[in-house]
Amino acid sequence: MEERLLGSEEKDSNDLKGRILVENKKIWKVGFPAMLARVTQFGMFVVTQAFIGHVGELQLAGYALIQIITIRFANGILLGMSSATETLCGQAFGARQYHMMGIYLQRSCIINLITATILLPVFIFSGKIFRLLGEEEEISKTAGYISLWFIPIPYFFSLAITIQQYLQTQLKNMIVGWLSAYSFVLHVLLSWIFVSRLNWGIPGAMSAMNISSWLVVIGELVYVFGGWCPDTWRGFTLAAFTNPIPVIKLSISSGVMLCLELWYNAALVLFAGYMKNATTQVSALSICLNITAWEFMLCFGFLTSSSVRVSNELGRGDAKAAKFSVKVIFFTSLFQSVLTGVAVGAGRQSMVAYINISSYYIFGVPVGLILGYVAHLETKGIWIGMIIGVVMQVTVLGYITSRTNWDEQVTKASERLDNWFLRPSEESSAENAIEERLNG
């Protein structure tokens, strides 16, 4: 009897090990290309900062303001809104509603391109905005000039990130990883030629960034349109313009969730600009944030993995598999981003937005300001406040995730997919209806 029990326990143990191994393979199949893409794409900004640092200290401080504040402002909104694509496409893929993924992609691209256009004044008038916020005149003027060179970047975010999330939900994002890696190498080469050899300064550094960035978008479009996604991309359709309100609502809640997280660091850099020796303080803090952000890009791979795995399993209707995936990826990574990814996969972005407001802006920022200005710890105090906010966010989000009813999440995912599902015949009818309206 004892031998049977021991044999049964050994079998269960081997079974569990096998399941964990299989789940880890799925996690890394999504996570590694996502890490490669995030690290290299963010690396372009760091490389540009390094070359601009050789131009001058004032130019470096101006670039730091734009990158940490303006770019994070835009990236937070657009990356967050694109996470709606991750939720919808991930759950649709799990439910085998493949043709809907192309429709979701087109809807998200349209919404994001419109949003990027709305954000343009922030880039055009950034110099004046910084002056109104009390930044030094020379830094603000330089930042305003650099900001104009950044205008193509919001449109890059709109397309590149959305297509990447569409691809990774169907486990085809390795192409994005390699495209980003090749573009990063090209960016380093072009930056060296334009800045170090030709002495083009800021125009040279920013031209290198824009060229390298848009090569990623071009490569992604060629991959999608060229027939490598036959099940999920069936061409452009006017059905993408039907029933956009629910997608817009999910996109906005997604944008609020992530931008609150990215703006947290940006706010701290802005406050550093009010200290003595503002140029040095802003430059130093931005370099520290770039280092931690580069590390976070690795963690972002796990955010992507958790989001894709959870959304796929919820779309498939398997609550136990979703719960098991959360456990495996959490103990594999132990990082904050996993919990956010789980929320994205389940479509719970609005909940995370409330947690971020409380953790970061009600606790983290005030503590940072008190330590930085009242306790005279300056940049160190701001940094401590940032850490306190992060710890609180992880604690609350971790508790909520541990108490999640995954059967309930399966039901919600199923209802969402059913409400937005269009059969091929309905898609044709929607196109005909839109054409009739356009023709009067």
Report helix, strand or coil for 233: coil
For residue 363, give the DSSP letter. Answer: I
Asked whether the whole model's pTM tops 0.85, one would answer no
DSSP string, 233-280: -----GGGGSS-HHHHHHHHHHHHHHHHHHHHHHHHHHHHTTSSSHHH
Query: What values do phi and psi take at 357, rounded to 5?
Result: -60, -45
Residue 370 lies in a domain: yes
Q: Is residue 58 part of a domain?
A: yes
Give residue 97's identity as a one-letter amino acid code: Q
Residue 227 lies in a domain: yes
Q: Do 215 and 179 touch, CB atoms closer than 8 A?
A: yes
* Paired tokens of 146: 């650099």
Q: Residue 22, Cβ neighbours under 10 Å: how many?
A: 11
Per-residue pLDDT at 153? 94
Count H helices and E strands in the chain, helices first: 19, 0
Q: Is residue 18 part of a domain?
A: no
Question: Distance between alpha carbon 53 and the CA centroid of its chain, in Å?
Answer: 27
Q: Return the pLDDT at 182.
A: 95
> Amino acid identity, residue 33?
P
CB atoms within 10 A of CB 311: 29
pLDDT on residue 283: 65
d(CA 311, CA 142) in angstroms, rounded, equals 44
Name the residue among 8, 129, 7, 30 with its Cα closest to residue 74.
129
Q: Give the tokens for residue 196.
A: 């170090």
Distance CA 123, CA 148 (A): 6
Residue 438 in any domain: the answer is no
In this predicted structure, what is the pLDDT of residue 10? 46
In the numeric block, the tokens 């956009």 are attached to: 244
Give burial (CB, 10 Å; 0-12/13-18/19+) of 279: middle
Burial of 73 (0-12, 13-18, 19+ CB in 10 A): buried
Which residue type does 44 have? M
Does residue 432 lie in a domain region? Answer: no
Angle between helices 349-356 and 245-272 (to 10 degrees): 20
Round to whole Å and give the CA distance between 209 and 158: 16
pLDDT in tens, the chain (440 residues): 444 433 444 445 567 788 888 888 888 888 888 888 888 988 899 899 889 988 888 898 889 888 877 887 888 788 777 777 888 888 888 888 888 899 989 988 998 999 999 999 999 999 999 888 777 888 899 999 999 999 999 999 999 989 998 998 888 889 999 999 999 999 999 999 999 999 999 999 999 999 999 999 999 999 999 989 998 998 888 877 877 777 777 777 777 777 777 777 667 666 766 666 666 666 666 667 667 666 667 777 777 788 888 888 888 888 888 888 878 877 766 676 677 778 777 777 788 888 888 888 888 888 888 888 888 887 778 878 888 888 888 888 888 888 888 888 888 878 777 776 666 655 555 555 555 555 55
Q: Structural domain of residue 286, as residue ranges? A: 28-419
Cα 288 to Cα 43, 284, 293: the distances in Å are 14, 6, 8
Helix (H) or strand (E) holding 4: helix 2-55
For residues 182 and 36, give the distance between their C-alpha atoms in angstroms, rounded to a whole number: 11
CA distance 418 to 414: 6
Domain assignment present for residue 434? The answer is no
pLDDT for position 14: 62
DSSP H or E stretch at residue 26: helix 2-55
Looking at the structure of the chain, the number of domains it has is 1
Three-state DSSP string of 291-350: HHHHHHHHHHHHHHHHHHHHHHHHHHCCHHHHHHHHHHHHHHHCCCHHHHHHHHHHCCHH
